[in-house]
Amino acid sequence: MYLYGTQTVNEKGHLTIGGVDTVDLAHIYGTPLLVYDIALFKERAAAFQETFKKAGIQAQVAYASKAFSSIAIYEVAAQLGLSLDVVSGGELHTAVAANFPREKIHFHGNNKSYTELQYAFDEKIGCIVLDNFHEIEMIKEISEARKEKMNVLLRVTPGVHASTHDYITTGQEDSKFGFDLKNGQTDDAFLKLHNHPYIQLLGMHCHIGSQIFETEAFRLAAEALMTKMVEWRQKFKFTCSVLNLGGGFGIRYTAEDEPLHPSKYVEEMESTVLSMARTYNYPLPEIWIEPGRSLVGDAGTTIYTIGSTKEVPNIRTYVSVDGGMSDNIRPALYGAKYSAASANRMLDPHSDKVTIAGKCCESGDKLIEEAFIAQPVEGDLLAIFCTGAYTYSMASNYNRLPKPAIVFCEDGQHQLVVRRETYEDIIRLDIPLQKIGREQSK
Ligand SMILES: *Cc1c(COP(=O)(O)O)cnc(C)c1O
């Protein structure tokens, strides 16, 4: 069994995270409970930051906060000197509530609304990453009306697409995001912004995929963007000061995943950008990156309570837990794989092969197809590892299940940072019948 970060097994045979016994946490806060190892989050952030620092390269490491958005995680990110990517007014509002330094907030998304863009101007955020021509028109209108400046990056699709275990390069990128680098769209976008009195184009951005395990795709993407930057410098005497190469760095969900150390990705980017800058005598741009999953993914562990167990003779044993696709939709949505352990009996042999099922009314609500755990007894605690990214942020109230609580642990201390939803929360937006469909009384 693979333990992450500060995880250990104590003398009672219980899983601990950040020096805190998870069985105690389950008693205090209930289950399902999402537990974050804050020391591990900090370690991951430092690994990216320090690699840039060592090379003496100006950089911003922006936490791509759609992976897990809450006031408390934004507060930790701010303390660490991270920048912050938001993709909606709601995430921006959370950042404002956390009093995140505005100049370090970057706004993403392929369909930002007029209202969201206004909000970004109201808060004077650091940068808007422009995705399409519609946004260019809107941002021109807003900045001219308000006579206010805004920094922007152009999001481009470099024709490099990386996924879990390989990458492909295509001439024409079929993506809903960004301007195509090769068919002239990126140049058109550039010309619409060039020399604008209020819009300051800082440079280019790309994000080539997620859960990537090799560095080659990042090198190709950096080369593609730098090539365009060199062209603009020759043609238009315009120099980009920022090259944003996105996120997508892979993490270990199960034993099959073999992620690289964060420094490896950063070093590949650095050497590509340095060598191209030297070749073309281009002033070295700042490199920005946007890790999401690789900052919070393995720092999160979900603790569930085991309820019913059902044996289908000669086929499999279902072990059901008190959450499921409502708090982690990734297995149902894209076949994501996880590993688990019996959190209250870590020292018992984990030799029972079972399927971990959720409690939602969908046959597809299985969290782990094949898990090895201690012989399950009702009331046992089950830890599913590496659930820190794209779980709570994608959670729903399907079957009107309340969303779980979230607790941060570090140095033997724990603090609730998102409280568990109550049944009152579940109905708080409901409005009982007033007119429509109400039986008429005479
Ligand atoms: C989702 C996203 C990221 C983060 O991706 P991870 O795989 O979580 O690292 C970074 N940048 C952009 C633009 C994204 O959309």
Distance from residue 249's CA to the centre of ligand 1 (Å): 9
At 65 the pLDDT is 98
Amino acid at 355: T
Cβ pair 408, 36 in contact under 8 A = yes
Query: Which uninterrupted H or E stretch holds 293?
Result: helix 293-296
At 439 the pLDDT is 74
CATH 3.20.20.10 fits 108-291, yes or no: yes
Any binding-site annotation on 420? no
Active site residue 127: no
CA 349 remoteness from chain centre: 34
Distance from residue 85's CA to the centre of ligand 1 (Å): 9
Task: Kindly report the protein residue whose alpha carbon is nearest to atom 13 of ligand 1.
Answer: 207
At 165 the pLDDT is 67
Amino acid at 333: L
Residues forming CATH 2.40.37.10 domain(s) in the chain: 8-37+297-426
Q: How many CA atoms lie within 13 A of 71 on its CB side?
A: 10
Residues forming CATH 3.20.20.10 domain(s) in the chain: 108-291
Ligand 1 pocket test target in 108, 204, 265 with most atoms within 8 Å of CB: 108
pTM of the model: 0.96
Question: What contacts 422, CB < 8 A, 6 or more positions away?
Answer: 402
Q: Compute the distance between CA of residue 347 and CA of residue 344 in angstroms, rounded to an integer.
A: 9
Distance from residue 80's CA to the centre of ligand 1 (Å): 19
Q: Compute the distance between CA of residue 146 and CA of residue 139 in angstroms, rounded to an integer.
A: 10
- Taking residue 184's Cβ as centre, other Cβ atoms within 10 Å add up to 10
> Among residues 338, 333, 332, 326, which one has the least CA distance to residue 301?
338
Cβ pair 437, 46 in contact under 8 A = no
Any binding-site annotation on 290? yes
Cβ pair 216, 163 in contact under 8 A = no
Question: What contacts 72, CB < 8 A, 6 or more positions away?
Answer: 98, 408, 415, 417, 418
At 338 the pLDDT is 98
Buried b (16+ CB within 10 A) or exposed e, 40-78: bbbebbebbbebbeebebebbbbbbbbbbbbebbbebbb
Cβ pair 405, 431 in contact under 8 A = no
User: Which candidate in 360, 361, 386, 409 is catalytic?
Assistant: 361
CATH 1.10.1200.10 fits 8-37+297-426, yes or no: no
Measure the N-to-C terminal CA separation of the chain; round to a whole number of Å: 69
Verify whether ligand 1 is closer than 6 Å to residue 297 (CB atom).
Answer: no
Distance from residue 248's CA to the centre of ligand 1 (Å): 6
Question: What contacts 347, CB < 8 A, 6 or more positions away?
Answer: 9, 13
Mean pLDDT by 10 residues, the chain (442 residues): 96 98 98 98 98 96 98 98 98 98 97 98 98 97 98 94 72 82 94 97 96 94 97 97 97 95 96 97 98 98 98 96 98 96 98 98 97 98 98 98 98 98 98 83 59
Atom of ligand 1 minimally distant from the CA of 108? 13
Any binding-site annotation on 334? yes
DSSP letter assigned to residue 75: H
